[in-house]
Structures are given as C-alpha cells and as structure tokens.
Structure 1
Amino acid sequence: MTTQTTSLPRITPKATPTPRSISAGGGKYGPYPPAYLSTTWDHMKIPERVNPIAPPPPKKRINMSWETTDQHWHNDKRRIIMQQREHNRYHSAWSKAFYGSPADQEAYRRHFRQTLKQQMADQDQHKQQNLKDKVRESETAVEYDRQCRSQDFNSFVKKYTYLKQFRDDNKNYMEDKWQQRRVDRHEENKTDREVLRFNPINWSGTLK
C-alpha cells in the first residue's frame, strides 16, 4: 500500500526584526530608551524562524502523519528570547536611575534634561510659527477688507456718476422740450394773430 504524500509551497522565512533602538531613524527624539542608556543583547545570536509545514532538509515532501511540534517549539523559544531581549533593554534604562553608578545616573538625568530642553524649544518654535500664521492671517483679512471697501467705493462712485449723468440728461431733455414747446406755442399764436388780422370777418379789429 502506497502512502499518500503531498508537497506544500515553500514559505520564505521572515528575517529577525531589529530592535527599535537600532532600526529607528535619526528623528528629533528617537525611540526610548536610547542606546547609551540601555544594554542590548546584540552579542546573542537570535535563531531564525522556521516554517512549521516545511520538511527539514534533505526531505522535500511530507506525508499525512507529519507533526510540527518541534518547529512550533523552536519558534516559541525564539519569541521568548526576543521578548527577553526587549524587556532587558527597556528595564536596563530606567533601573540605572535608581541602581546605577553616579555616572549612569548623571547620564540618565542629562538625557531627560536635553529631551525637556528640546521639547521646550519645539514648543516655543511652534508658538512662534503659530503667531506668525495668525499675523499673516490677520494681514490677509485686513488686505481683503481694504480691497472690499475699495471695490464698494468704486462701485458707489460709478453708480453715482451714472445716476448724475442720467439726471442731467433728463433735465436737459426736459428743458429742451419745454423750450421747443414755448417756441411752437409762440409761433402758433403769431400765426393765429396774423390770420385774425387779415380775416375779413374781423374787420373792426376787435379780435386779438
């Protein structure tokens, strides 16, 4: 009877993550604790992670009775070692303030003094930048208000000029019309008087 076997795709093992104190970029504050305040286990070799479902070499195939207890135990030990390394790195920093040598205690206090100074400087810079932004915003608002008032004044002058010109044109038109009406009436009256003067009916000249 032939035993059924199967092969699974190979999973590339993940690389061991580097501690934050080493992998973090050169930021302004950096991770806590810094390297000079903590002791790391860089000398200890961290075992690589293994794939539990991948058979160890030289085997290339697994069968249905394959067990992964040893592989999981290996990965669990690796996890415990990495947790112990991180715990020791963090614990070794704050323990120096109470149990370290005078030089270590002074380095611990100096670190927090420098960090506090940096935070105060950043806060002052933030306040100055905030003040500059508010001043710039106020200047922009004042300039916008000045432009609005200038536009309102120009609109008022334009409207006033237009209405004044409209009024003057109407006045001139009405005066010209009245003058023309007076002239027409005068000519009409003159014509009527001439007609009445030479009309035989008005021989006595009593009609004016």
Structure 2
Amino acid sequence: MNTIYRKQTLFLLIAVLSSCGKPQPQASQLLARAEQLIEDYPDSALMLIDSIFYPEKSFNKKDYMYYCLVRVQARHKNYLPISEDTLIFEAKKYFTKKNNDFKTAALACYYSGWVHREQGDLNQAILDYKDAASYADKTNNTALNGLIQYNIGALFRSQGLFDEALHNYQLAEQLYLQSPEDNREKQVHCQSEIGQMFILHLENGKN
C-alpha cells in the first residue's frame, strides 16, 4: 500500500478505536475508503470493513445494504468463505428494486450468486449471475460484464455443460477486449478455458 493510503487508513482506524461502544461517526468514511481500496488492496479494504462494529446503527438503510455488499466483496477477494453472508440476498432485493445504479445492482446480483454457489445451490447461482449480466449490460462497464460471463461459463463447466460454457467464455473474452482497461491476464484465462472447452467437446464427441 502506498504511503498516502497507509496514513489515511491508520487515521481512520485510530478514530474507530476512540468511538467503540457507540454508533461510529466515521462509518461512512470507512466504507468509502474500503470501496476505494477493494480492487487493488482487498486486505486493507477488509480491515476497514471489519472495523465498523455497529453498521446497523451507523448507516441508513441504503448505506447499510451497500455495506453488506462491500463486506461480501471484500471477503471474497480475500479468499474467505462467504456461504453464511446471506445479508447479500437482502442487498440484492434492495438494489434491484429501489435503486437506479445498475453497476451496484449488478454487483449485488453477482455476489448473491457467489454465496449461492458456495452453498451448493448452483441453479440459483446461475439465475443470480444472469440477473447480474442483465444489469451490467445497462452500464458501460464491459470488464464487469466480462467477469460475470466468465463465471457463468465456470458454473456451466462444473455441471458438464461444455458447449454452454464455451459460449460464455467467448463472450467474456470479447468483453475484456472491448474494455478500456488492461485485461490481458483475464483474456489469457478466457482463452485457456476456451481451448479446454474445445478439447472436452471433442472428447465427449468420441464417447
């Protein structure tokens, strides 16, 4: 983490320690900082999220739902189990019914899918991912849509639906190509999966 982020994070954590036992006036700052760090420094983002001790008291309804989303996102990016983070289901309902922020709705659906996936409910996970894709289509965030399509492909692959998986991996690769961000590593992952799907398709055709 660079020096500026380190100092800002330390300042927020010191403020948190001084307000333990009551609603935190710094909660909104902690959540906003966690959101800023979550892609590049997910461990620091999770530390900030975990330092919010009374989220129900510290946030209004909308911000509390967003806290639930960012918390699941941070835990997932730190490779922690999220099967019990079922508040994301409530967040999904909130952001898909009461909010016009399509990116947030897409993320809420996507992480709802991940929780169902870890719970073993793959059918509901697919439905959540497809909801996520429908909201992502309404944004200009092609990288997010590519991520969703990649994971739809991964779910289809896990169920032996290789043709369907191939289609979604190909969609993901095209979306990553369209993104203004540098997604070369993700494109390589897509290409690897596409190659494996062709091999599996041929092997199944011989059986």
TM range (shorter): under 0.3
Q: Which has the higher helix share?
A: 2
RCO higher in structure (CA 8 A, sep ≥6): 1
TM-score (norm 1): 0.22
